[in-house]
Structure 1
């Protein structure tokens, strides 16, 4: 298997390209910890947006998927109409569905 070294410089460049392609203004960014934190931080920096928050989830026990997804440490997003939720990977979508449900109920 061929390995590719993905440097910090490459990640920063890709993040800037992504930020330019997102043609929308957000009031807040919510990172799903821990995977979405770096990307959310850099997007906030690029857009000069200080309303960058984290939310915690537990969807796996080690490498085993749990029956339910626990969501906690919800930020106060009152007044934020457009919120970008950032994670490093979405496989089944279960975590994202639960996060959306919890944020809409908050």
Structure 2
């Protein structure tokens, strides 16, 4: 079974949020930072700061959680981010080697 991750990216002013799901968090975050998909939402709005993430043993669970988060209000997303990252620091460094665990 493949592991999964749900994550939230933002821009430098924290005005826009993007919630996504992936099986390889470090690779996907790097793609966002490099604007790998130049026409994507994250590229158009400069969403390159990883402010929240969760891991799951199965990708299906991550997809389910992504849908829950996306269905919530902006305030719920802000509360979620603030619950673990009140300074809104970029968590990219925390996940660079995360795939070694999975």
What is the TM-score normalised by the length of structure 1?
Answer: 0.29
Whose helix fraction is larger, Structure 1's or Structure 2's?
A: 2
Whose strand fraction is larger, Structure 1's or Structure 2's?
A: 1
What is the TM-score normalised by the length of structure 2?
Answer: 0.30
Highest RCO, 1 vs 2 (Cα 8 Å, sep ≥ 6): 2
